[in-house]
Structure 1
Amino acid sequence: MANVVITGSSKGIGFGLGKAFLAAGHHVLFSGSRENSTQAARERLQQQLPQHVANARFFPCNTSDHPQVQALWDYALQEFSQVDIWINNAGLARTGWKILDIPESEIHSMVQTNLIGTLNASRVAAAGMLDQGEGKIFNMLGGGSDGEYFPGMGIYGTTKRGLDYFTRALAKELQGTGVLVGRIRPGMVITEAVVREARDNPERFNQSRRLMNNLVDQVDTVVPYLMQRILATSKSGEKIAWLSGGKIALRMLTGLFRKRPDQFLQHGL
């Protein structure tokens, strides 16, 4: 069984991934950016997977602060003896603004979380895994990481594009060391952040709702696939993509003839 650390796992995809690993019998360290969010994850897990909670650990960590990331690694090593898989999921999406309109504070927050935080965590995990002789590091990408443009996502997409380059570079530098580095593109998943932004800007959400409904998925739909691919990865530099180009084309074509059930209704939208 694998020992897994997931940053940004107090909710959303990170929490869903942690649950999937736990349900499959693995050990998981959940980490939110603050003590209260990490504690909330513990409470939800006790309600949803009480039979597996003994294999879970919880430790708060703001990944933009390097000493906190080192403390997270040290705690994982203390609890598990070895870290087999480290997933950098902590991220922040603040979309809806054009590049010239977005508040400077939002730019700073996304750069600190998406770039600095992932660089910190990747470096700490890589150093630790080199010491133990093996391990896997996965960085969570997102819209813009392949160079595509989405309206209102200029800054967010820039951070994810930079993160893609960084992850490729790290994979090259660790080639042949026993430490594998991979990228994850989870697709368009409905998380708490997506719901929040839809409620903050209902007009924009309603304009894109029909198109988005063909492409979005629920967290619990996506995470079993991601987990299996993470476990199966044996080559550094690989990209795990849930929503491939072929799948997008098929869904758009199917949507012309058959309306997909509204994926947002269960979230109160």
Structure 2
Amino acid sequence: MTVIVITGGSRGIGLGLAHAFASRGCHVVICGRDETSVTAAAEQSGALGVPADVTSRADVRRLWDTATERFGRVDHWINNAGIALAPRLLHDIPEDDVRRLVDVNLVGAINGCAVAVERMLDQGGGFVWNMVGFGSNGRVSRGMAPYGSTKRALAYLHDTLTLEAKGTPVRIGLLSPGLVVTELVAGNDLRSDLRGRRQQVYYEVLSDPLDVVAPWLATRVLSATRNGTRAERLTGPKACGRLATALLRGRLHPALRAT
């Protein structure tokens, strides 16, 4: 059976992925910083839960060791752990908040990649995935400077590791879920004073529910074979198609009709 490790798997997209992989007969291992929430998520999804902080490479190594001790190997390692802040101008964000965001979103992914690539070389192969988000394609928005910077960096990390993995049995992949309806989008983004009505409607038209996105991502992960694979749900042409369809159906807000 395929063995999947998902960092940050106790809620949001990570938990949705755990359910999706488990329903496909995979062995799933998830981690999170809070032991109580990880235990609850593991019981809910049928995964093995491991308390771990991805900003600690020792914790990440322990996560790998726990997975392989239980299941013998890791076929797919997904760096999903991440946090976000409510959109605010950069000078209004406390330094500690920025540091924590960068540590989890970027350092955590780097730790995961370093450990997983090293161990997969030892075991003879495997796939390492990074979950990107807003900013990874260079798009900018007010209030998103720290978060978007980390996701842009993950896109660079993907390209570099793809190059480094060439000629080895390790494969590198990128997951881009698009706009997913989670507590993050509903709580932090749509209610931000920095976002005008136009940006809010973009979210309303382009976002998808988690129970649609997670199975889509899981299918792409399990079918991937090529180093450098990119599984991108909401590409530019797809977004334009949705906006055009919403306009034709009379569902597009007037604020967007002139764009």
Gaps of 5+ in 1: 46-52, 262-269
Q: Distance in 1 between matches of 2:127 and 2:77?
A: 6
Q: What amino acid maps onto 1:44 in structure 2?
A: Q
1:255 matched to 2:255? The reply is no
Corresponding residue for residue 29 of structure 1: 29
Q: Distance in 2 between matches of 1:147 and 1:67?
A: 32
Corresponding residue for residue 104 of structure 1: 95
1:121 matched to 2:92? The reply is no
**Contact map agreement 1:33 1:61 (CA 8 A) in 2:** yes
Q: Distance in 1 between matches of 2:105 and 2:63?
A: 18
Shift of 1:192: 2.1
Residues 101-152 of structure 1, C-alpha deviations (whole Å, 9 max, x = no match) = 2221221011100111000111011111000011000000111111111221
Change (3 A) 1:22 1:117: same
Root-mean-square deviation (CA), in Å? 1.8
Q: What amino acid maps onto 2:36 in structure 1?
A: N
Alignment of 1:66-81 (within 5 A): 66-81=57-72
Corresponding residue for residue 210 of structure 2: 219
1:85 matched to 2:76? The reply is yes
Alignment of 1:156-171 (within 5 A): 156-171=147-162
Corresponding residue for residue 6 of structure 1: 6
Shift of 1:258: 2.2
SS of corresponding position for 1:166: helix
Q: What amino acid maps onto 1:66 in structure 2?
A: R
Q: Distance in 2 between matches of 1:27 and 1:13?
A: 17
How many equivalent pairs are there? Answer: 251
Percent identity between matched residues is: 40
Shift of 1:209: 3.2
Q: What amino acid maps onto 2:63 in structure 1?
A: L
**Contact map agreement 2:86 2:192 (CA 8 A) in 1:** no
Residues 158-214 of structure 1, C-alpha deviations (whole Å, 9 max, x = no match) = 111111111211121111111000111110001122233258x46556834323111
SS of corresponding position for 2:206: coil
Q: Distance in 2 between matches of 1:101 and 1:160?
A: 20
Corresponding residue for residue 149 of structure 1: 140
Shift of 1:90: 0.2
Shift of 1:244: 1.3
SS of corresponding position for 2:54: coil
**Contact map agreement 1:143 1:150 (CA 8 A) in 2:** no
* TM-score, normalising length: structure 2: 0.91
Q: Distance in 2 between matches of 1:225 and 1:191?
A: 16
